[in-house]
Amino acid sequence: MFTDINNALNINTDFLRNPCLIGIGENGADCSFLIHHFISLYLKNGVTVVLISFKQALNHFNGVGAKIGCNLLKFKEQNRFGYVDGLRNLSQCVNNGIGNAAYSWTNCVNDVGHIDSMALMKEIIFHMSSITEKMQEPGAMTLIIDNITPLLDVGMTPTEVTKLIQYLKAHIENDIRGNFVVGCYSDKIDEEGSTLSKYIHHSADLFLEVKGLETGYCKDVHGQLLAHWPQGYLREKAVTKSWQYKLTDKTCALFAAGMSSAVL
C-alpha cells in the first residue's frame, strides 16, 4: 500500500466497502505498481482478494508483496487471498491443451477456437466462490484482474470481452457487493484495445491511467498518473486529476507535475 496514492485518491474505508469498478489503463508505462498497491490496500483493510493474472506468475506478486510489506503467503493461509493462474490456464486452453495448468478452462473454447465469454465468466465465478467458501466469516471481497487485454490479444473480440466485464461487474456489484479492479492497455494504435479501454473508462467509477512522459525516459520521473471520476448520471463535471510519479524499490512517490525532488 502506497500512502501517497491513498492520500491522492482520497481512499477511505467507505470507498473500500461500497461496490465499485476501478479501471487501470496503461499507455506506455508499466501500471503494475497500481495492481500491487490495490492488492495490499484491500488485504490490509480486511477485504478478501481474488487475483487473476494473465501477465505474471504468483512468485512475482509474492516477491513484490514482500518488498512493500504485505506477506501474500500468510494471507493465503488465512484464506484471505486467492490466486488464479490466468497465464497458464489461458495459454493451455488456446493452445489446444499444451501446457501444465492446474485446472483447465478447456470448456471455454469451442471447436473453432473461439473463447466463449459466458463459459469463462462461469469459470471465474467458480474460482471466486471456491475461495469465499473457505472464509470463516463473510466479509467484503474484491476481484482484481491484472490485465484483461491478453484475452483480446488471443483472439476474443472486443464485444466478447466487454460482455465478460459486464457480467462480472453485475455479479460482483449485485450478488457479492464487492469491488472489481480491471487493468487494460490503452494504446491509440491498437483499435480493438482502445475500444476496450474506452468501455472500461466509461463504465468505471474510478479510472486511473498510467502514461509515459512525452519527452521520453527520465530517471527521476517514471511517468504520469491520471485519475478520472466519471460522474455517471449526476450532472456535475467529471473530475480529472493528474500527478507524476517515481517508483523506488519499496514505494511510489507522487507529486505534481514539475515538483519532482530531483528538480526542486
Residues binding another protein (CB under 8 A): 27-30, 32-33, 36, 56-57, 59-60, 63-64, 67-68, 87-88, 90-92, 94-96, 98-101, 111-114, 149-150, 153-155, 185, 187, 189-193, 212-223, 247-250, 252
Specify the residue, 124 or 252, whose C-beta has the smaller distance to another protein: 252
C-alpha cell at 6: 491513498
96 exposed, middle or buried (CB, 10 Å; 0-12, 13-18, 19+)? Answer: exposed
CA within 13 Å, CB half, 153:
13
Nearer to another protein, 99 or 230 (CB): 99
CB of 87 to another protein, least distance (A): 5
Q: Which is nearer to another protein, 155 or 232 (CB)?
A: 155
d(CA 134, CA 141): 13
Residue closer to another protein by CB (options 190, 205) is 190
Q: How far is the CB of 45 from another protein (least distance, A)?
A: 21
Three-class secondary structure of residue 200 per DSSP: helix
CB 5, min distance to another protein, A? 13
> Which DSSP helix (H) or strand (E) runs through 21?
strand 20-27
Closest CB to another protein among 102 and 234? 102
Shortest CA distance to 110 belongs to which of 165, 152, 156?
Answer: 156
Supply the minimum distance, in Å, between the C-beta of residue 210 and another protein: 10
Q: What distance in Å separates the CA atoms of residue 62 and residue 242, rounded to the nearest whole number?
A: 30
